[in-house]
Amino acid sequence: MKRCRVHILRAGSCSHPAVMTRRDAGLAPAVFPALAALIVHPDEGPVLFDTGYDPAFFAATDPFPERLYRWTTPVRFEPGEAVADQLPAFGFAPDDIRAVVVSHFHGDHIAGLTRFPDARIFCARAGLAEVQRKGRVSRVRRGVLAALAPADIDARAVFFEDRPPVPLGPDMTPFETGADLFGDGSLVAVQLPGHCPGHWGLLVRQDDDRTRFLIADAAWSSGAVRDDAPPPRLTTALLGETGPYRGTLNALHRLWARNPGLLVTPSHCGEVAIETGRAD
């Protein structure tokens, strides 16, 4: 199995009451970093898992009703935080990115997607269908900003469902199968239902021989996985389905309890953000 070097990148943050992401939390506002991953594959080169925020997010949320997205989840974004602007520090340019793995199509995960015009876009069919859903209000209510999807996404999309299925092995129980993106076992997409239609995570074997499980929004924090502490029903029902969400979170909790050395990596976790050098 090929090993990859993984760098966690912080591309902005948003804030909202902590209780919206964990039902036993308080009403005080909390900061949630928008994290992406730069995965350096030995043969395929640099690959991204999501993109976080980007200046394109602010252009997409200028008109109404899209501006409601920005009002309900205020965004903090500093110059230079875009993933495309961080790549030179790792020796890459945006044109070097040949693949972007999209966990799901919420605006805080794909805002930078148009900055990588030469990349294949690995995603779920159901996720892309959300972008193409009719009705701007309906899309915004579901966290989707259609303007953030590249115009040629249909031609560039590679669907998880079409990649070869592979067994994950006993170490990943209760998760059983995944989709082998490059056919070499290095990047395996795993369906994580509940947060929204077409929500998937990614397993990566790192070059230090540890396995990282990028779980996107299957949990908002590592603590929620450890404690099996879901968001309130209001949150999960607004964006997805409460029952499947809680089932996925419980499965992640059981996986972590059996395999605490696994690097379970939510996309908005302050603990994980420490890897970027910024946790605030």
Model pLDDT for residues 195-247, shown as the tens digit of each residue: 999 999 999 999 999 999 999 999 999 999 999 999 999 889 988 999 999 99
pLDDT for residue 238: 87
For residue 150, whether the previous peptide bond is cis, meaning omega lies within 30 degrees of 0, is: no
pLDDT for residue 280: 56
pLDDT for residue 241: 96
pLDDT for residue 210: 94
Q: Which residues of the chain have pLDDT under 50?
A: none
pLDDT for residue 19: 87
What is d(CA 4, CA 71) in angstroms, rounded to the nearest whole number? 38
What is d(CA 69, CA 91) in angstroms, rounded to the nearest whole number? 34
Q: Look at residues 242, 214, 215 and name the one whose alpha carbon lies nearest to residue 230.
A: 242
Strand partners, 99: 47, 120
pLDDT for residue 278: 58
What is d(CA 255, CA 117) in angstroms, rounded to the nearest whole number? 36
HSE-up of 225 (CA within 13 Å, CB side)? 31
Residues 6+ apart with CB under 8 A from 274: none
pLDDT for residue 166: 97
